[in-house]
Chains A and B, each alone.
Chain A
Amino acid sequence: MRNTLILAGTIATLATSAFADAVQVDWWHAMGGTNGERVNKIADDFNASQSAYKVVPTYKGNYTETMTAAVAAFRAKEQPHLVQVFEVGTATMMAAKGAVYPIEQLMADSNEAFNKSDYLPAVISYYQTPTGELLSMPFNSSTPVMWYNKDAFDAAGAKVPTTWAEVKTAAQALVDNGMKCGVSFGWQSWVMLENYSSWHNLSLGTKENGFAGFDTEFSFNNDAVIARLDDIASMTDGNLFVYGGRRGDSLPLFTNGECGMWMNSSAYYGSIKSQAEFNFAQTMLPLDTDVASAPQNSIIGGATLWALAGHEADEYTGVAKFMTYLSSAEVQAWWHQETGYVPITTAAYDLSKTQGFYDSNPGTDTAIKQLSLNEPTPNSRGLRFGNFVQIRDVINEEMEALWAGDKSAKVALDTAVKRGNALLRKFERSAK
C-alpha cells in the first residue's frame, strides 16, 4: 500500500507539476455515458475551484461492478476514498463497520461545517443509522412516479388518475379507445412493493424495515399488498395491465405508444423526452383508497457516495471539502436539472424554483413533492435489508409467476417472504 502510494505519488509528480502538491482523492463511480461526463465536470470544476485537493473520478462499470470492484480493492488494501454504491447495497456497506467511514463523522473529524437539516429528509433518512447519524452522502436519487401519455388520455377522454380505482377506469378507457395496453411498470419490487408500502405507510419488514437491526423479517405478505397485486394480475385480462420485463425493459411499451400509463423512476425523464413522439406528463403514484385515506411519502432509489476507511486524515479533509462543494445549491440544482435526479438539499430545490425550471418543465418536481409529502415514518423512510440484490431477484421471480397466472398473489408473496427471510438470516450470520 505504502509502496504503491509512493509510486503513484512519484508518477503524479513526474506527470503533472501543476498538481504536485495537491492531495489526491479517488472517486469510483458507476455513471456511464452522458452522466459520466457530468461526473467528470463536477470533479473538474471542484479541482479548478481550489488547488489543495484533486478529485480523480474513475468509471468502474455498472452499480454492481463498481461495488464489487470496491470490495475487492478493500480486501487488497487498495480502496478508493469514495465509492458510489446503489441503495440496495446500503445494508452490506453499513454492516462493514471497519471498512466505511460514516460521512457525518468524517465531516466532524475534518472540522467541515455540516448541517443535516439542509438536506431533504426523505433523501437522507434512507442512509441514516437508527440514531440518526448520516452514513453516506446522497448523490443521485430518484423516486417512482406515474408517467402518462397526454395525447392518448385526451383522445380517450380519460381522467388523469389519482387512485387505483381511477387507474383501472383510465386503463379501460384507453384500451376501449384502441390502445394495446392500459398500464405497465418497471423495477417492480421497488415500485409495486417497496414504494406501494411506503406510500400507504405499510411496513415491509420488522425492526423498522431493517433499520433497527439485522434480525429483521419480511412482512410484505399482508392483506393490502395481496389484494392490490391480485387486482393488478386480474387486469391482465383485456390488456388493462401488460407486464414488460424487469428494470426499465418496459420503457418501449410506453414510448412506442402501446401503454398509456407507466410507473417507474422519475429519472427516465431524459429517455422519455428523447424517445416519445407524443405529449407526456408525470403525476404522483396512485393511492389505494382501501388502504389509506392519504399518501404518506415515496422512497428513493439511486446511489450514494461512501467514504472507505484506511486513508490519511488530510485526504479525508479533501473528501469533506468535496462533499461540501457537491452539496452546494448551484452544483445540486445543475445536476438535478440536467439528469432528472432529485436535488438533495432544500436550497437546491429552492434555487431550481427561482430559476423557473419547474415553470418551463411542468411536472419535473413531482418526485420531490412525493418524497417530501410528509415527515417519513419508520415504514416510509426506506429499507435496510441485507442480501437485498438477491432478494429483489426473488421478488421479481415470484411476481413474474403471479403475472403469468402460475400463482396467486398470496402464494407468490408468501413464497417471496419465506425465500427472502432465508437470505436475511444468511446475511445476519455473515455480518457479525
Chain B
Amino acid sequence: MLKRVHFPSSPLPYLLVAPQIIITIIFFIWPASQAMYQSLLIEDAFGLSQEFVWFENFEYLVQDEQYLSAFWRTIFFSICVASLSMGFALLLAGFADRVVRGALAYRTMLIWPYAVAPVLAGALWMFMFNPTLGIFPYILEVIGYDWNHYLNGYQAMFLVILAAAWKQVAYNFLFYLAAMQSIPRSIVEAAAIDGAGPMRRFWTIIFPLLSPTTFFLLVVNAVYAFFDTFGIIHAVTQGGPANATTILVYKVYNDGFVGLDLGGSAAQSVILMVLVISMTVVQFRFIEKRVQY
C-alpha cells in the first residue's frame, strides 16, 4: 500500500524493462522451452509424425556408450583447455606485470588473439598441422615423428586442445594482469625486503591473492570449453577421427543437423543447458562470497 503512494502507477518502468524482457523471452525462454518440449518427442525429420515419449530420449542417452564417452571426453577436454590456457596466461601476466619498458606493446600483442574468431583460429591451426601441407608435421618428420591427426585420435585431441587454449590465453591474461596490478605494491615490497625471492613472493603472496580471479576464470574457461569451442572443432577435425574429438556440443550439432535426430539432439541440448545453468549458479554463489577478501 505504501509503495502505491510513493510510486503512483505509471507504465514507464514496465516500458523500460519491456525490451529486455521481450529479448529474453524471444531469444532464451521460447527456444529453450521448445528444446525441452522437443526432447520429449520422437519425430521424423520433416515433423510429419510425432510421438510423445516422455524421457525415452534421455534414457537412450544414458545408455548410449557414444554419449557417455563424449561426456567424459568433454570433461577431459575442458580440464585440459582451462588449465593450459590459464597456466600460460598466468605465466605471461606474471612477466608482463614486471615489464617496465614497452609494456603497452607487449600487452597489446598478447591480447590480440582474443579478437580472432574461433573458426579462423581453427583454420589457422588446421593449416599449420595439416599432415601434407603444414609446417609442423614437416618439422616433426625431420625429428622422426609421424604426425597425422586425420588418423590418430590422440594427436587430433591434442591439436584441438592446443587451438582452443591458445584462443583463450588472451582473455585470461587480461584478467590476471588486471588482478596483479591491483595487488598493493607495499605487500610485495615488504616481502622482498624480508628476503623473499620472486618465486616465493609469487606463490605465497600473489597467487593466493589472485584466487577470486582464478576461480572466476575457471568457470568462464569451463563454459568456453564446453560451448564456444564448436567453431574450432568444426574447422579442425569435425569431431573425428572416429569421434576422438566429438565433445558434447559437437554431438548436439552432429546428431541434430547431420543425423536429423531432433529429439535426441534436443535432449542433449537440455542436458547441456542444465550443466551451464548449474555452473553459473555455482559461479555467482562462490564469487559473491569470495570476492571481498
Contact = CB atoms under 8 A, between A and B. Distances in A.
A397 B242 contact: yes
A403 to B, nearest CB: 9
Given A245-B151, A389-B259, A429-B42, A400 B242 contact: yes
Interface in A241-294: 243, 245-246, 249, 252
Interface string A420-431: 000000100111
B243 interface: yes
Contact of B150 (A95, A96, A249): A249
Contacts of A429: 42, 51
Interface in B32-59: 42-49, 51
Interface in B58-78: 60
A19 to B, nearest CB: 30
A356 interface: no
A75 B44 contact: no
A401 interface: yes
Taking each of B60, B242, B255, B263, which has the highest tally of chain A beta carbons within 10 Å of its own beta carbon? B242
Nearest to B56: A429
B240 interface: yes
A92 interface: yes
B87 interface: no
B38 to A, nearest CB: 11
A68 B261 CA distance: 11
A396 interface: yes
Given A92-B260, A245-B150, A430 B48 contact: no
Contacts of B240: 246
B153 to A, nearest CB: 9
16 contacts: A68-B258, A68-B260, A71-B45, A96-B45, A99-B46, A387-B261, A389-B258, A390-B258, A390-B259, A393-B243, A400-B241, A400-B242, A401-B242, A429-B42, A432-B49, A432-B51
A71 B150 contact: no
Interface in B109-144: 132
Interface string B233-256: 000000011110000000000010
Question: What 4 A-B pairs come out closest when comparing CB atoms?
Answer: A397-B242, A96-B46, A99-B46, A390-B259
Interface string A373-402: 000000000000001011001001100110
B127 to A, nearest CB: 15
A205 B247 CA distance: 31
A74 B261 contact: no
B37 to A, nearest CB: 14
Interface of B: 42-49, 51, 60, 132, 150-151, 240-243, 255, 257-261, 263-264
Contacts of B132: 252
A344 B42 CA distance: 37
Given A64-B257, A99-B48, 20 more contacts: A64-B258, A92-B260, A98-B46, A243-B151, A245-B241, A249-B150, A252-B132, A389-B258, A389-B259, A389-B260, A390-B255, A390-B258, A400-B151, A404-B151, A426-B42, A429-B42, A430-B43, A430-B49, A431-B44, A432-B49
B44 A96 contact: yes
Contacts, number: 69
Contacts of A390: 255, 258-259, 261
A64 B255 CA distance: 12
Interface of A: 64, 67-68, 71, 74-75, 92, 95-99, 243, 245-246, 249, 252, 387, 389-390, 393, 396-397, 400-401, 404, 426, 429-432
A117 B250 CA distance: 45
Contacts of A426: 42, 60, 261, 264
Contacts of A400: 151, 241-242
B49 A75 contact: no
Nearest to A399: B242
A387 B260 CA distance: 8
Contacts of B260: 67-68, 71, 92, 389
Contacts of B51: 429-430, 432
A140 to B, nearest CB: 20
A252 B42 CA distance: 42
Nearest to A97: B48
Nearest to A403: B151
A12 to B, nearest CB: 27
Taking each of B44, B51, B261, which has the highest tally of chain A beta carbons within 10 Å of its own beta carbon? B44
Nearest to A394: B66
A426 B255 CA distance: 12
A387 B44 contact: no
A387 B259 contact: yes
A349 B260 CA distance: 36
B47 A75 contact: yes
Nearest to A429: B42
B45 A92 contact: yes
A95 B49 CA distance: 10
A243 B152 CA distance: 12
B48 A96 contact: yes
Contacts of A245: 150-151, 241
A431 B49 contact: yes
